Structure 1
Amino acid sequence: METRDILNRIGEFKPLENSVLPPWLAYPEIDRYSIGWRMGYGESHIIELGKYFDQLTESEKTIYELTYPESEEWKGWYNDDYE
């Protein structure tokens, strides 16, 4: 039922093109609460991801979240303000 509800809400499930990987896949060596996300290559990635995510429609954001589910360490990240 959950899958049906999601598909009713977003329509056709099309994989996103040129998506920016979430932080836990892009740089798994950096812990979620590390300063590395506020400096250097981690910061650059978060800025790029924020710009990418801002241009997505609500349906595309849902597809992104389903395509890249949060790891255990990153649970709740999609609900956080990551910028």
Structure 2
Amino acid sequence: MSTQLDSETRLSLERALDRLGAGKRRLPDPMLAPWQEFHDMKKTSMVWRMGSGEIYLQWFFEWYAGQDDQKRQAYKAGNPPPEEWSGFFDTLDLRILRKTE
């Protein structure tokens, strides 16, 4: 069983990656939270587990982990996740903590 994105969704994902400079690793500062960048994608969508969404999450984590604690706290305060994404920042913070141990 394959998951096929409709052309509008695919175009939206391609545009998002183009804005990020796909492959260049020069990330915008600040990055949009995943639910803002892909506002039409549910958290349970397969797009977050493969393809463009997965890449975006990896890049977002890379950017977020590169911020100092004060900037991360300010970002979280200014970009509260919708209910569907509750716990997202806690998960990222735990990954950062584990990397520094």
Aligned partner of 2:74 in structure 1 is: 63
TM-score (ref. length: structure 1): 0.70
In structure 2, what residue type is equivalent to 1:61? R
Q: 1:33-72 alignment to 2 at 5 Å?
A: 33-72=44-83
Letter in 2 for 1:18: D
Q: Counterpart amino acid of 1:45?
A: Y
Gaps of 5+ in 1: 1-16
Q: Hey, which bits of structure 1, 4+ residues long, moved more than 2 A?
A: none
Task: Calculate percent identity across the aligned residue pairs.
Answer: 24
Quote the residue 1:78 is aligned against.
89
Shift of 1:21: 0.8
Three-state SS of the structure 2 residue aligned to 1:44 is: helix
Which structure is higher in RCO with an 8 Å CA cutoff and minimum separation 6? 1
The answer (yes or no) to whether the contact 2:33–2:60 under 8 Å persists in 1 is yes
Task: Quote the residue 1:19 is aligned against.
Answer: 30
Give TM-score, length-normalised by structure 2: 0.59
One-letter identity of the residue aligned with 1:56 = Q
